[in-house]
Amino acid sequence: METTLIILKPDAVQRGLIGRVVGRFEDKGLQVVGMKMMTISLDLAATHYADHQGKPFYAGLVAFMTDKPVVVMALRGKGAIAVCRKMMGATFGSQAEPGTIRGDFGLSNSFNLIHGSDSAEAAERELGLFFKTGEVIEYGRAIDQWVYDLSGGKAE
């Protein structure tokens, strides 16, 4: 099982898509193990997007991400990082396949609704930025026996 960070960006929040997007992840079988609404500070945005500093889009990205509230989530499941990224779709809404979050809800190439960690290392770092110790909760779910084949003692 892995845990990944998902951010519903200001455009998703402002468009009232929180429930629909969270529902997609839960419908898939992923477990929400942390969630909160927040406004990202300039310092946190600078740390989170440090790899993009100096790029032409950096200032606009930081301004966008710090202007309005976001919803941050920790999602857990087998292969959660790859599963979430596939569900999100291509970065640009105009190029995202129907059936993906960006493909169904996005058209803009600037406002792309959602962020998801792209690797286990990034997920660990990003989860540490957005969640304090104890805010990501480990708990069992009765439905896991129906989400995963646990007959062999571990998720298939």
Tokens of residue 108, six digits: 């803009």
Please tell me the distance from the alpha carbon of residue 29 to that of residue 23, in angstroms, as a whole number.
10
pTM summary value: 0.94
CATH 3.30.70.141 assigned to domain 2-147? The reply is yes
Domain ranges of the chain: 2-147
The residue annotated as part of the active site, out of 9, 24, 48, 115, is: 115
52 noted as active-site residue = no
Tell me which residue of 64, 75, 76, 78 sits closest to 35, measured CA to CA: 75
Distances (CA, A) of 148 to 60, 99, 102: 41, 22, 26
**Per-residue model confidence (pLDDT) at position 58:** 93
What tens digit of pLDDT does each residue of 61-92 get? 999 999 999 999 999 999 999 999 999 999 99
